[in-house]
Amino acid sequence: MRYYPAPEGGLDLAEINRAVEAAFADHGRGLVQMPPKLYVTLPKGDFRTMPAYLPSLDIAGVKIVNVHPDNPGQGLPSVMALTIILDTETGRPTAILNATRLTDMRTGAAGAIAARFLAPKKECVLGIIGTGRQAEAQVRATSNELAISGIRAWSRNPAHAEAFVARFREFDAKSVTLEQACDCDVLVTTTPSRTPVVKNEWIHEGTHINAIGADAPGKEELDPAILHRARVFVDDPAQAFHSGEINVPIRKGLYPPGMIAGTLGEVVTGKRKRERPDEITVFDSTGLAIQDLAIASIALRQAVSMELPFE
Amino acid sequence: MRYYPAPEGGLDLAEINRAVEAAFADHGRGLVQMPPKLYVTLPKGDFRTMPAYLPSLDIAGVKIVNVHPDNPGQGLPSVMALTIILDTETGRPTAILNATRLTDMRTGAAGAIAARFLAPKKECVLGIIGTGRQAEAQVRATSNELAISGIRAWSRNPAHAEAFVARFREFDAKSVTLEQACDCDVLVTTTPSRTPVVKNEWIHEGTHINAIGADAPGKEELDPAILHRARVFVDDPAQAFHSGEINVPIRKGLYPPGMIAGTLGEVVTGKRKRERPDEITVFDSTGLAIQDLAIASIALRQAVSMELPFE
């Protein structure tokens, strides 16, 4: 059994996008096994357990990831993760990966793939709401799929927004108001909000929205009225109903689950697509275990590891 | 983060029984978080993902365990496991345990606790059906709870049965026929059977049965008629309906789920008990994640470990 302490080192973001896209394609064709992730609540956060089997890559395993918003006060990341890989022939555990940064990257890749297929054009202004680690991962991954002609970023903390735009001068990044950030081609929301931060009237026709932040029951970032104007694609219906951007509107009776336009897997495989340049599209990302297996399959081939006894 | 390659070394079986009993008591009082385990099917077996949080021991984590019946032909155990422990305050992964032998031991402990509370008397003859690793774990754990005055063991493979009884001469162990094994006070079944091996007419009044083998959909060891004569206690209702001894009879309409007498947690906390010396009782064990956390909590204090970088 091998342990990979820093498997993200040197990975190629474009290759990750392709592997994650292929995993979504398998999902769209019903070729994966992936029960909805399980949540366990801890006193100051939660952890999620995400098993899956991806036959096309001959890989199976489980990601375990926590979310503890107060951790940064103690010098720890909010989100930390391990991925355990099992041999598909014998079930033997063969690898353990530190998946904290892999989690950021595979989530970025999902947003990038959604933007590639659903953005209104190939050269886009990105609106960025929330400027933490995940926002950075989204921009870096998406820059491999679209030409980014500008970035308009907002954070609750202006100093964070300034630091963020300083890292993306190459894309003409600017710190703006919340409303100005929404004036874009592709809007990316990565906040931990439990009340909508994006107002309906700020979203113009033709916008694609990557709604990344909502990944647990009670979280939401978008005014539910946006969902009614938009065609909403989810990564996985069961997970999205439970914990995605649509979870609160569904629970409140403000969004009928039957209104969902499809899954990203269906988009990637060509069964669903953006129909008109002026329609609003939303990708509701909760994060799939098959994304974790896809990125792990690349890391296992390339990254430094150490042998652990397992008998 | 620490790795424990052989955490079972030197553990005290009586201490494990007490920890597992306390975990069942917490379960019986509704003080644990434990979603039903998730199953993923692989080409030659499956793996199960088992998260839980046990506040009384301040421990949280996930066990990942496979079942591959053909593995011994390749020199590998059928069942291998890892347990991942997370810090309950921050969600940070703090330990990884090789849980292959811990799994045997915590399953043995559950049977021992069930026998302690449900056996018709304190000095018992054990009937043993199936003589693999789990049968041995059951006898060793149970010997800490009951006085064992004899063992009557049967295996499909007579050589395995002979080797088994040779290890338990101290308990006057004898290799016998299937029917003779059923003539006992406490019957322990640990086969991977998918058709009943124990006939109704072989079970006399007053017997307690630990039905350990059925732990996946389609598995069963007991003639369903036995369940109708008996009071059946389960470890966890949701898991038992899905994959315990009662799963096939329930699916076939041969056993109404409402007939269950209660959970082992309710027995341990005194809410349920054996009512009469002549009643037949069954403990349907599927294996709970809280058992894995309970045994891990002991191993973490005592076992040898190595530091792994996790940043």
A304/B contact by beta carbon, under 8 A: no
Beta-carbon pairs below 8 A across chains A and B? 139
Inter-chain touch B43–A89, beta carbons under 8 Å: yes
Q: Tell me: do B173 and B296 sit in the same domain.
A: no
Q: Where are the beta strands (DSSP E) in A55-181?
A: 59-67, 81-86, 93-98, 123-129, 147-154, 173-175
Enter the pTM of the model.
0.95
Q: Tell me: do B189 and B211 sit in the same domain.
A: yes
- Calpha distance A44→B185 (Å, rounded): 48
Q: How many structural domains does chain B have?
A: 2
Q: Tell me: do A263 and A169 sit in the same domain.
A: yes
Per CB-CB distance under 8 Å, the chain A contacts of B84 are 64, 82, 84
Q: Is residue A121 annotated as part of the catalytic site, yes or no?
A: no
Per CB-CB distance under 8 Å, the chain A contacts of B62 are 47, 49, 62, 64
pLDDT tens for each residue of B31-63:
999 999 999 999 999 999 999 999 999 999 999
Q: Is residue A90 part of a domain?
A: yes
Q: What share of chain A is helix, strand, coil (3-state, %, to 5)?
A: 35, 25, 40
Q: Where residue A124 falls among pLDDT bands split at 50, 70, 90? A: very high
Q: Tell me: do A191 and A116 sit in the same domain.
A: yes
Our CA dihedral for A21, A135, A178, A255, rounded to 10 degrees, sits at 40
Residues shown for chain B: 311
Sheet with A38-42: strands ordered across? A38-42, A45-54, A59-67, A81-86, A93-98, A2-4, A306-307
Q: Is residue A210 part of a domain?
A: yes
ipTM: 0.94
Candidates A41, A96, A290, A305, partner chain B, best to mutate (most B CBs within 10 A): A96
Inter-chain touch B80–A92, beta carbons under 8 Å: yes
Instruction: Identify the three-state secondary structure at position A299.
Output: helix
Q: Which residue has the tokens 């006399």?
A: B204
**Which whole-number Å values give the CA distances from B82 to A59, A93, A182, in the listed order?**
17, 8, 46
Are A299 and A15 contacting, i.e. CB atoms less than 8 angstroms apart? Answer: no
Inter-chain touch A5–B310, beta carbons under 8 Å: yes
Q: Tell me: do A181 and A91 sit in the same domain.
A: no
Q: Tell me: do B140 and B282 sit in the same domain.
A: yes
Burial state string for A193-230 with b = 16 or more CB within 10 A and e = fewer than 16: beebbbeeebbeebbbbbbbbbbbeebbbbbbbbbeeb
Q: Tell me: do A141 and A44 sit in the same domain.
A: no
Are A114 and A264 contacting, i.e. CB atoms less than 8 angstroms apart? Answer: yes
Q: What share of chain B is helix, strand, coil (3-state, %, to 5)?
A: 35, 25, 35
Chain CA centroid to CA B25, Å: 16
Are A52 and A293 contacting, i.e. CB atoms less than 8 angstroms apart? Answer: yes
Q: Tell me: do A78 and A182 sit in the same domain.
A: no
- Calpha distance A233→A259 (Å, rounded): 10
Q: Which of residues 172-211 of A touch B (CB under 8 A)?
A: none
Per-residue pLDDT in tens (0 to 9) along chain B, 311 residues: 999 999 999 999 999 999 999 999 999 999 999 999 999 999 999 999 999 999 999 999 999 999 999 999 999 999 999 999 999 999 999 999 999 999 999 999 999 999 999 999 999 999 999 999 999 999 999 999 999 999 999 999 999 999 999 999 999 999 999 999 999 999 999 999 999 999 999 999 999 999 999 999 999 999 999 999 999 999 999 999 999 999 999 999 999 999 999 999 999 999 999 999 999 999 999 999 999 999 999 999 999 999 999 99
- Calpha distance B98→A261 (Å, rounded): 44
A96/B contact by beta carbon, under 8 A: yes
Domain of residue B32: give its range.
2-103+290-307
Q: Is residue A311 part of a domain?
A: no
H/E stretch holding B150: strand B147-154
